[in-house]
Amino acid sequence: MDETSVESSSSLVGQPSDEAASPSETDEIRSLTWGYGAVCLVSVALMVLLLQGRYDFGSSAPVSLLILAIVAVTGIVLRTSLAPPVLILILTLILFESMDHPLRIVRLKQGIDLEDVLLVACFVGYLAGHYRYCSLPRESSPSTAAEVPKPKPRWEESPWWTTLRPLGILLAFLPLWPLGAALLWRLIPSERGLAVGLGIPSPLASLLAWVWTLAFLVVACRVGWYVARRDRQPADVSRMFLLETVWREMRRDMNTAARYLGRHRRKRKR
């Protein structure tokens, strides 16, 4: 490499790159950021108002709603992906506290309650706004090539990084347990349970409830362990895992096509 090429390459490093964001793009990103942030804040405010007016919490109402608001606002400020799963967990606990029985989340009503529909709509609005808000860049792209940070491998950033995603998945799975428990609650032997009406023996109903609970715990632990193990794998191992998965799917499709062709040939011979 001669001196002229070295000088030209060094001069290019100091110049602004062609991929730098223009002022109009920067203003658009800033307006979208403020817009999605406002959607999240309005959704959280409506959720707090609906929960305060709809459910009776007793003396713990300010604490529960304050924690809900703090978690939601913290997820917006820090742009963390753990905010929605934690928010789901807090809403589940709030609904537990407001019901007569902890397992009465699934309730059969004769009509649709407008306040419950609005609560679900506000939560979905927060999820959508938070997702779009976190997908936007914090700032415009660097103006020079020297300012571009070098990406680090994800398994070398922090020892706590690999534990955040499994924790978020487990927190997202937690509301499924009370929903399923509310459906299976009537299988437990009681005067009002379906075990008496369907003729299911009491020991069998209790066994079904315990087996279902144990199966859920096993599945939740398995999912968390699997995601944590996959996050700790290097890039080449993850690539080989993906290729193996694709190869298995292709082999399954080829076997299905071979069985179909063989069946079709036998029909034609007949």
Which of 43-47, 223-227, 239-243 has the weakest average pLDDT? 223-227
Tell me what the mean pLDDT of segment 97-107 comes to: 46
Which residues neighbour 219 within 8 Å (Cβ) at sequence distance 6 or greater? none
Can you name the residues that pair with 23 across neighbouring β-strands?
A: none
Sequence spans of domains, the chain: 22-145
Q: Which has more pLDDT, 85 or 200?
A: 85
Q: For residues 137 and 117, what is the distance between their CA atoms, to the nearest angstrom?
A: 32
Length of the chain: 270
229: helix, coil or strand?
helix
Task: Classify the C-alpha dihedral 104-109-112-115 as positive or negative.
Answer: negative
**What pLDDT is recorded for position 165?**
54
Tell me what the mean pLDDT of segment 133-152 comes to: 58
Can you name the residues that pair with 144 across neighbouring β-strands?
A: 16
Which of 83-87, 135-139, 195-199, 202-206 has the weakest average pLDDT? 195-199
* Among 208, 172, 215, residue whose Cα is nearest residue 188: 208
* The overall pTM is greater than 0.85: no
